[in-house]
């Protein structure tokens, strides 16, 4: 967990200096910042390099974009769900951003698009549903409650 925290901090410090897209978009829409929850999720699935790509995604759409990314990658989904299980167990909940990701994932699996994906089995779907219904709390509170390793 210490490695994850250090990677999130390093990304948060490094990404803004590499792209002005973190504060505004090229199409003139409202300014936005890359959410630390998004950065943490990308680190959890070993895809921190995608932080630059996500800086072009409006903050309101980032949970859906991330959810779409991981429903197409079974290993990434498993890593992300493991991270959320750990947060729920250690901190007592998940972030609102993570909740939005989980709700999007469940919507995808309930849609006709699910026929084109490798859908989790019954136990996996139950696990996703439990996480989607977990209490939400701010990322700062989750971080403070995580067990130090």
Q: Inform me whether the pLDDT recorded for 146 exceeds 60.
A: yes
User: For residue range 116-125, what is the model confidence (pLDDT) as tens digits?
Assistant: 999 999 999 9
pLDDT at 147 over 80: no
- Does residue 107 come out as left (phi exceeding 0), alpha (psi in the -120 to 50 range) or beta? alpha
The total number of residues written for the chain in this structure: 149
- pTM greater than 0.85: no
Other Cβ atoms within 10 Å of 12 Cβ, number: 14
Average pLDDT, the chain: 83
pLDDT (tens digit, 9 = 90+) per residue, 9-31?
A: 444 444 444 334 334 444 445 44
Q: pLDDT of 22-64, one tens digit each?
A: 344 444 454 467 899 999 999 999 999 999 999 999 999 999 9
CA 88/CA 90 separation, integer angstroms? 6
> How far are the Cα atoms of 39, 51, 102, 136 from residue 133, in angstroms, in the given order?
22, 27, 9, 9
Confidence of residue 101 (pLDDT cuts 50, 70, 90): very high
């Amino acid at each position: 967990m210490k490695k994850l925290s250090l990677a999130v901090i390093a990304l948060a410090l490094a990404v803004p200096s590499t792209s002005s897209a973190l504060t505004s978009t090229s199409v003139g829409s409202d300014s936005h910042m890359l959410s630390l929850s998004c950065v943490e999720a990308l680190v959890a699935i070993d895809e921190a390099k995608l932080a630059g790509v996500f800086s072009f995604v409006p903050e309101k759409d980032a949970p859906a974009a991330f959810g779409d990314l991981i429903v197409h990658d079974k290993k990434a989904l498993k890593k992300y769900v493991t991270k959320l299980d750990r947060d729920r167990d250690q901190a007592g909940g998940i972030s609102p951003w993570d909740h939005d990701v989980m709700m999007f994932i469940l919507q995808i699996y309930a849609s006709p698009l699910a026929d084109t994906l490798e859908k989790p089995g019954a136990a996996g779907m139950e696990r996703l549903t439990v996480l989607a219904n977990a209490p939400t709390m701010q990322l700062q509170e989750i971080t403070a409650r995580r067990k130090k390793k």
